[in-house]
């Protein structure tokens, strides 16, 4: 493989990542819109679109492994390929959690849980907005190779973690006081958990962007003590 051909394939890999990122952004936006508006058709589309994201992951992974095997890249080029391999895992997981929220939306709608909430939905929408912004920021940081943008994700992740703890505590109390509300409360905790995990994956993407630009990889965050 000539150097020009290799450079062209690296550029194609970069574009594939951007396209996969656009699909992931659509996935989270649509899943949250489906939940907010009880749009079961949109929820079904989110679930179906997850297969397309999975296909992208397999396609990019194969391309990365072929590039490594045929070219044996060094230094910066190897970082680009390693970054792609790591990012696609986090992007695929974000799409999975979007699909999980869509499935819960359909389940709750079928069981008439969405018509009347057990508590005003204030923190979950705020958490959803934070997670959505984090996913966009993480992907934009990759497109722009902007480490400042990538580093900003840590602060937002802490906000999401705080909201998650608050939501779990409030819903746990509601379940104790109102046993008839347990099913809906559990579903809301799952939604909050999926959002919290999306934020974690967005932060991971930011860390890989930093690694790609600087060659230094920040150690993973301390393992959290999950409440759920």
Question: Cα(171)–Cα(176) distance, rounded to whole angstroms?
Answer: 9
C-alpha closest to that of 68 among 17, 13, 16: 13
Say if domain 3-214 classifies as CATH 1.20.58.220: yes
pLDDT per residue as tens digits for the range 132-172:
999 999 999 999 999 999 999 999 999 999 999 999 999 99
Q: So where are the chain's domains?
A: 3-214
* φ, ψ for residue 85, nearest 5 deg: -60, -40
pLDDT of residue 4: 80
pLDDT of residue 117: 61
List of residues 6+ apart from 85 with CB closer than 8 A: 60, 61, 64
Cα 175 versus chain centre, distance: 28
pLDDT per residue as tens digits for the range 81-128:
999 999 999 999 999 999 999 999 999 998 886 656 656 567 889 999
Residue 179, H or E segment: none
Start-to-end C-alpha separation, the chain: 50
Question: Cα(205)–Cα(90) distance, rounded to whole angstroms?
Answer: 7
Question: Cα(216)–Cα(84) distance, rounded to whole angstroms?
Answer: 16
In this prediction, residue 75 has a pLDDT band, given cuts at 50, 70 and 90, of confident
What pTM was computed for the model?
0.90
Q: Is the pLDDT of residue 226 over 50?
A: no
Whole-angstrom Cα Rg for the chain: 19
Beta carbons of 192 and 127 less than 8 angstroms apart: yes
- What's the full length of the chain, in residues? 228
């Amino acid at each position: 493989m000539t150097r020009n051909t290799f450079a062209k394939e690296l550029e194609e890999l970069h574009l594939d990542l951007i396209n996969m990122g656009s699909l992931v952004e659509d996935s989270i936006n649509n899943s949250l819109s489906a939940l907010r508006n009880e749009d079961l058709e949109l929820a079904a589309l989110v679930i179906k679109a997850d297969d397309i994201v999975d296909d992208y992951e397999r396609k990019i992974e194969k391309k990365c492994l072929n590039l490594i095997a045929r070219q044996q890249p060094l230094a910066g080029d190897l970082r680009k390929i390693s970054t792609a391999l790591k990012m696609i895992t986090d992007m695929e997981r974000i799409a999975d959690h979007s699909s999980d929220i869509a499935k819960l939306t359909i389940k709750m709608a079928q069981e008439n849980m969405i018509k009347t909430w057990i508590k005003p939905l204030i923190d979950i929408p705020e958490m959803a907005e934070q997670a959505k912004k984090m996913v966009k920021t993480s992907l934009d940081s990759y497109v722009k190779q902007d480490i400042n943008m990538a580093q900003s994700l840590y602060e937002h992740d802490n906000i999401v973690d705080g909201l998650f703890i608050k939501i779990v505590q409030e819903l746990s109390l509601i379940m104790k006081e109102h046993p008839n509300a347990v099913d809906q409360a559990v579903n809301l905790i799952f939604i909050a958990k999926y959002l919290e995990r999306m934020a974690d994956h967005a932060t991971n993407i930011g860390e890989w962007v930093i690694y790609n630009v600087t060659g230094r990889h920040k150690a993973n965050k301390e393992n959290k003590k999950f409440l759920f």
